[in-house]
Amino acid sequence: MSKLWLSDADNPLFISDIEVDEQVDATTKMLYKQGGTIASAILPLTVAGRWVGLASISWDTQREFMAQEKRVYRAIMGQLASVVDRTRQFERGELLSSIVDNHPDFIGVSTLEGKALYVNPSGLKLLGYAPDQEVSEMDVANFYTPTDAQRLLQEGVPTAMQSGGWADELTFITASGAVIPVEETIGINYDVDNHATSFSMTVRDISERKAAEEAIRTSQQLALSFQEKLTVLQEITTELSQLETLNDLTRKAIEMGHGRLSFDRLSIWLFDEQLTAMRGTFGTNSEGAIIDETDLFHPMSEYEEWFTNILHSRERRVVRESIDLYEGYDVAGQGWHVTALLMQEDRPLGYVAVDNLLNQRPLQPFEPDLITLFANTIASLVVNKQVQQAVSKQAQELQTVADLSRIATTILDVNELLQQVCDLTKERFNLYHTHIYLLSDDEQNLTLTTGAGEVGRQMAAEGRQIPLRQKQSLVARAARLREGVITHDVQAEPGFLPHPLLPKTRSELAMPLIAGEQVLGVLDIQASEANYFTDTDINIQSTLAAQIATAIQITASTTPHRNFMRASHCWKTSMDARVPFR
């Protein structure tokens, strides 16, 4: 465009002939000629020295612009500039209104005193109001908690007036009373005389951000708590490893789990080697006191589905929430319950059970893992204690066998021999009861001849007999099979009837007394605990039974009074059977 045009933007430019007009440069001439323009009136549109646009009127012939015509164009130029300016302002206003109305955040305007002038639809929605809510009836202070409303009006607005703005995190209260954390920025609005008239509010819901921050804090706190518990568990492991017996171990484990790991109620149960039964050790009751549960016993068959599920679970544990919690057989409350197996590699040894009956504390995310680690610790220590006790028990029992053999060589009376054997066997092997059956001369019946203690004497006086062919008799079966037989739980046996003098019998081992090839009777030992006897006990008792049988035969052969022995059998034994006692 012409240099004159650029330097005099307030005045229109009139070009009568584009070819000869010196105000127009070559480039502009070329552009005009391409459009067929010969003459032109170019009208700058300005308002108060501010450009709003440009109007151009073109002719395809030469034209002389008269003074009157130029005045008309100047008048048109001013009017057109005003129209363009108002149109643009209106469009900008419409655009701004559309932006504000459709903005996803809360945008509002309030008087400096806190009376709402405008709240956009997103703001009304955030506050829980209908889209057509009358804003002028609102008091901005009601949008916030009392403390934050005071901060906004007494701190936020004055600060914004001094520094141009203010931002902080506040708390909204919705129409329904819900609490929403928000991030708010306010600015002051001024009139043409630069007087503050109102303040604008831009508010963003930061609930998700706050929830994420809280989740991070909670996660960090849980991680710290878990690490602290792991440190405590290491200390517990060290202390438990120093205990002497399995009972001491399980009792102390319950005490420390409850007191130092903050487990509400817990108990430890152990399985037998055959996985046919489980027995209690120690636990805590509904008052948090430690209780002895060693007398509790359950057949595994009653919990077959539970055992299968937990054994085949990936973590070897079961976590249940919002379930009934029991004290004995009665529902004591509701809460969560975690069961974790005690494992030695792939062999289940028992389980630890933990619940929250006492304090109703929610299950922490790390607690199932902590309980599993606690169970693993107990399992490792139980295995060590079982091995130690088994070795110690076997050594003691072998010594007992040797002692009984030595005692037997010094007793010449069969009755006295059998009584001493029963009494000492019960005492040394820590049994509930011991008695001996002898086979009758006709090999048809087994007679209870001798028993340990006063109970044994009373039972012997009853003259109790068991037919050798009685199928359900453990004693008769041992004699028929000529080998040791175990019943892990006599109460589970069909047709079992406890003897009135032995009401606590739970497990039983019957071992035939064989001298040479001859069955002389049966050594019957009983325990008050289910699953008490193992294959190791059969080996020990078979050695003892052989020694007893030989001693009986030797003693009987030298005693004139053998009214309960079969003489023909006693003297048939070879001298080789007597060598260990000579």
Q: If you write DSSP's letter for every residue of 39-65 in order, what string do you get?
A: EEEEEEEEETTEEEEEEEEEESS----
Q: Which two tokens stand for residue 54?
A: 């440009």
Q: Which pLDDT belongs to residue 65? A: 85
Closest alpha carbon to 431 in 444, 440, 422: 422
Q: Are 452 and 424 in contact (CB under 8 A)?
A: no
Q: At 278, phi and psi to the nearest 5?
A: -130, 145
- 42 occurs within a structural domain: yes
Q: Scanning the structure block, which residue is given the tokens 């066998």?
A: 401
Say if 120 falls within a structural domain.
yes
Tokens found for residue 531: 């699953």
Residues 31 and 129 in one domain: no
Same domain, 265 and 200: no
Same domain? For 453 and 516 the reply is yes
Q: Structural domain of residue 223, as residue ranges?
A: 219-385
Q: What is the 3-state secondary structure (H, E, C) of 239-300?
A: HHCCCCCHHHHHHHHHHHHHHCCCCCEEEEEEECCCCCEEEEEEEECCCCCEEECCCCEEEH
Same domain, 560 and 506: yes
User: Is residue 399 one of the residues assigned to a domain?
Assistant: no
CATH of the domain at 318: 3.30.450.40
Residue 468 shares a structural domain with residue 432: yes
Pairing mode of beta strands 116-119, 485-487: unpaired
Residues 250 and 266 in one domain: yes
Whether residue 347 is found in the same domain as residue 471: no
Q: Quick check: helix, strand or coil at residue 97?
A: helix
Per-residue pLDDT at 95: 67
**Weakly modelled stretches of the chain, pLDDT under 70:** 1-9, 91, 93-97, 495, 557-582
CATH assignment at residue 161 = 3.30.450.20
Residues 48 and 146 in one domain: no
Q: Is residue 392 part of a domain?
A: no
How many structural domains are present in the chain? 4
Whether 418 and 372 map to the same domain: the answer is: no
25 found inside a domain: yes
**Helix, strand, coil percent content, the chain, rounded in steps of 5:** 45, 25, 30
Task: Give the Å distances, CA to CA, from 250 to 269, 275, 347, 492.
Answer: 9, 19, 19, 27
349: its two tokens: 């040894």
Confidence (pLDDT) at 582: 22
pTM, entire model? 0.57
Residue 176 is assigned to a structural domain of this protein: yes
The answer to whether residues 446 and 475 touch, using CB atoms and an 8 Å cutoff, is yes
The torsion of the CA quartet 59, 60, 64, 65, rounded to 10 degrees, works out to 10
Which residue type is seen at 264?
D
Same domain flag for 243 and 256:
yes
Q: How many CB atoms lie within 10 A of CB 528?
A: 15
Calpha distance 9→54 (Å, rounded): 10
Last residue of a domain, one of 71, 99, 127: 99
The answer on 313 and 170 residing in a single domain is no
- Could you tell me the end-to-end alpha-carbon distance of the chain, in angstroms, rounded to an integer? 141
Polymer length in residues for the chain: 582
Question: Which runs of consecutive H residues, i.e. helices, occur in 276-363?
Answer: 304-311
Tell me the pLDDT tens digit for each residue of 247-273: 999 999 999 999 999 999 999 999 988
C-beta atoms surrounding 514 within 10 Å: 21
